Structure 1
Amino acid sequence: MGRVEDVIDPVARLVSGGGAVVLSGAGLSTESGIPDYRGPSGVARRHTPMTYQMFVGDPEARRRYWARSHLGWRLMTQAAPNDGHRAVARLQQAGLVSGIITQNVDGLHTAAGGQDVVELHGRLDAVICLGCGDRSTRQELDARLRRVNPDFAGRAAAINPDGDVDLDDAQVAGFRTVDCVTCGGLLKPDVVFFGETVPVGRVRRCFAMVAQARLLLVLGSSLTVLSGRRFVTAAARAGIPVVIVNQGATRGDGLALLRVDAPLGRVLPALADRLAAGAGVTLPG
């Protein structure tokens, strides 16, 4: 990509004015070992992502999902924030980033020290009952699933951005699921599945953040899904500059004031070094 300085110069000039809202996607977490769907590190998967309708309506599909996600969760817990996540947190603590909207469900922005992160599609480490609305942690569910599946021997080599993995039917045969301890209802990860809508209040909060932004900084998202692309569209319509840093083309390129095709793991730390230097920013170790 040439010299990092040449790439970040125009980005730095725009971000240095402050008031930037970050919109991040799966491409920001690839260097944490979580591949994206469509970018250079994307992995081919043999099954399509679970839809909400299939999850609630097909017990066998639900069993397959939980078997795959049970393994995926173990891999997801091993992922740690990378230099890109930490750089975003540094920019925020330096007063240059006013808000973070992420399409990711991995919780890595918060783990890196990000504050008041709006997780558009929820978090994989939380579980909700579709019957009574009771919320619990994924750690609790993991312990219960381990107890009822002591001999489960499925193995997965790679994880998908939603915490799912690829397993064949033979590996999930006999896997047992568990229900809500409060009402016996269906348990679901507190994430937005395909075919499910993002909670209205969460969407409104994101639109409000974008409306008050001086700049929308898109990081690691192809903007293929309308769920995130609508904020780029809203910013452009309001005359708010859009800067996109992503490897590969995005569906928002035509709306961007500046488009940078480069690895986030190189661009963001260099950007933070330049703009947050001397601000006394310290992050969790």
Structure 2
Amino acid sequence: MSAVTDTVRVSVAKGGGVGQSIRDSLVIARRNVVRMLRIPEVVVFGLIQPIMFVVLFSYVFGGSISIPGAGISASGYREFLMAGIFAQTVTFAVAGSGAGIADDMHKGLIDRFRSLPMARGAVLTGRTIADLVQTALTLVVLAVVAVIVGWRTHENFGKVLAGFGLLLLLGYAFTWIGALIGLSVRTPEAATSGGLVWLFPLTFISNAFVPSQNMPAFLETIANWNPFSATVQASRQLFGNMPAGYPVPDAWPMQHPVWASLIWSALIVLVFRTLAVRKYRSTSA
């Protein structure tokens, strides 16, 4: 901790404004990445659940769910499914982000950072950047597992990278929701529960696991305008995993999923970063 403190003091001495904010954020991000590497079991346990989802959904539901354009096909459902599993995995980072910030507050580390002449938003920005690094690592491992069970992409390398980029952007946006939750509760356990309780309906009332056309009309509308659904739809298109003849819903986010995903993620970052930084300042006053 003293090394981080000394580094922050040095960064402050070198300049102010945007440059200082960037340097301070990177210092905090480095501190959290180093902490993550020193506790590898956190990363390992974080990988178990998404891997289980890949295996269970692929082999348990693969031959039971009909996908328009692909019918009842294990391989067809597997390709339809993977974008949804990827998106679910990156959004679940909200729980880790919230719990980490709540834990730092509980241990008094946030108070120590507040005593330093550093950019106010740097503590939260650094934390979300570190969470993004962990999410990217998880996504790489998950993609390897998906390939092993038979998932394939059918577009060029640039589009595939763009699909993963949209997924990471959504994950980064959701870590800001986690940051706000972490600042608003008293314990890491409450942050974990608060981060997950609303994620399950968000991810399941979407096009991640079944076509939204199969849902009742009011749920279909919710699913089609769900920010989660937009990123899933965009990733499927960029991966080339949309079945031939798949009927795309008329809702604007489903017709223009890449733009919808970018807009939703940017709005989430803007709104929740503003709220989280304001909460951080008010609790430090």
Structure with the largest fraction of helix? 2
Task: Give the TM-score, by structure 1 length.
Answer: 0.26
Task: Give the TM-score, by structure 2 length.
Answer: 0.26
Structure with the largest fraction of strand? 1
